[in-house]
Amino acid sequence: MKKDVVVIGGGPGGYVAAIRAAQSGKNVVIIDNGGLGGTCLTRGCIPSKALITAADRLEMIRHSSQLGIDVNGDITVDLQRVMEWKNGLIKKLTSGVASLLKANQVEVYSGTATFIDNQTIQVNTTGQSHKFQFYHCIIATGAKPAELQILPFDGDKVISSTEALQLQSVPQKLLIVGGGYIGLELGIAYQKLGSEVTILEGLSQVLPGVDSTLVRVVTKRLKQLGINVKTNAKVTGGNTDGDGVEIQAAINGSEQHFRADQALVAVGRVPNTADLGLENTLVETDEKGFIRVDSQLRTTENHIFAIGDVAGGPLLAHKASFEGKIAAEVINREDVEVDYRAMPYVIFSDPEIAYTGLQPKEAEEQGYDPMVSRMAFQANGRALTLGKDSGFIQIVSDKPTQQILGVQIVGPEASTLISEAVIAIEMEMSAEDLGLMIHAHPTLPEVLQEAAEGVLNQAIHMVNKNPALSR
């Protein structure tokens, strides 16, 4: 029997696509070889946030005396028990995914899939082989950690994020190669758990590509935590002889040596396309191996789609889920396509960073007359009661129309606050619209409201800087 839709990959893109296709009455098969939930649930988003939560809780306990709460005795970290707790969360979530697929009558196969031709795949499971013909296929195989040739992974002393989320003890010294969001999030977590962390970043700032005004707030916090950050650091070599790992790096023209118990290499991710048999189809990839797609996620084979990390662009779980729904709806002959205008980006650093829409420079490049209004968390009562008042919310609006074009946040709960900003941009709200919304007090979203009122020169808890707009 020819299948309506075959989905390759059971991550946040694949399983969402399978369910949405099944909801429209399609006969759907999903094949996954790494555990339902993909990298996000099993080796990325969820386990890393669990580790970050444990580290933040420990940090809170250590500094509770400023609240008048004294904790007597030693505070110890049993990383094995932390990992057991984390694994319990993963099991609960992956079981939930399996139940949802079953409830939607999606056939699930655990194994690897290879294209035999553009309408047939072969699935190899434990001791068995299956062939499926299909009308449509959605490729959602994700990506994996990129490896440095001069410092290959060995799973012990030189590790990827996968192994970093499975450690059974806190390393005394941890060296991180790469200051992007993965390296930064895990570096902060392990520093709080007791490691001595050094981050080597090849470019001029950690979190390359992120607005430097946001990054400066996080950089200040890194110093407070005692994390040693080396920028403009080009790794030139390394070895794992002896008890630990030693890495050489050229920093501003001079070579320096760094030793640690383990080195986490977090220099990006590469798409999982090598073993798909794409050469047996007309599906094209770019120079980095990512599959080329159009605005409806179609590949160069009209009936084969690609979504999520394997299709390139920002490697975000929520982007993959969004694209999974779009691909399934296109297959159902709905007139839809992707729109990334208000895509939220979130970094679970300390403090958190989140942004959506246009940065000021981007707005100007697109022909807008941008106006920026910034409100600090220091003036927010809820931030002060949380003991987390560093950072700000910045709104970028179009001066003639006051339409909100973008929002950038660095501060407490930025990952949650960004959702209101996404709604504002999607609904094409003006700063006045957002400012007129009644926000509960005392809450963190009040900072967003004040930033919007600042566009109008009507903010109450900060000095207004746009007098030309006053009534």
Binding positions for FAD are: 49, 309
Q: How far apart are CA 154 and CA 172, in angstroms?
A: 19
Query: Which contacts qualify for 99-104: CB closer than 8 Å, 24 or more apart?
Result: 100/15, 100/19, 101/15, 101/18, 101/19, 101/30, 101/36, 104/18, 104/19, 104/22, 104/23, 104/28
Query: Is 441 an annotated catalytic residue?
Result: yes
Binding site as annotated, residues for NAD(+): 178-185, 201, 268
What 3-state class would DSSP assign to 254? strand
Structure tokens at 448: 């967003």
Q: Give the strands of the sheet with 345-347, arranged side by side.
A: 345-347, 352-357, 404-411, 392-398, 370-376
- The amino acid present at 144, given as its one-letter code, is K
| CA dihedral angle for residue 382, residue 387, residue 389, residue 393, rounded to 10 degrees | -50
In sequence order, what are the beta bridge partners of 115? 121
- The amino acid present at 244, given as its one-letter code, is G
What 3-state class would DSSP assign to 435? helix
Q: Which is catalytic among the residues 303, 318, 441, 461?
A: 441
Structure tokens at 455: 């566009």
With 0-12 CB in 10 A as exposed, 13-18 as middle and 19+ as buried, what is 238? buried
- What do you get for the CA distance between the two ends of the chain, in Å? 69
SS3 content of the chain, % helix, strand, coil (to 5): 35, 25, 40
Binding site as annotated, residues: 49, 178-185, 201, 268, 309
- In the DSSP assignment, the letter for residue 298 is B
Q: Give the strands of the sheet with 262-265, arranged side by side.
A: 158-159, 262-265, 173-177, 196-200, 228-230
DSSP one-letter string for 117-158: ETTEEEEEETTEEEEEEEEEEEE---EEE--BTTB---SSSE
Among all residues, which ones are annotated catalytic?
441
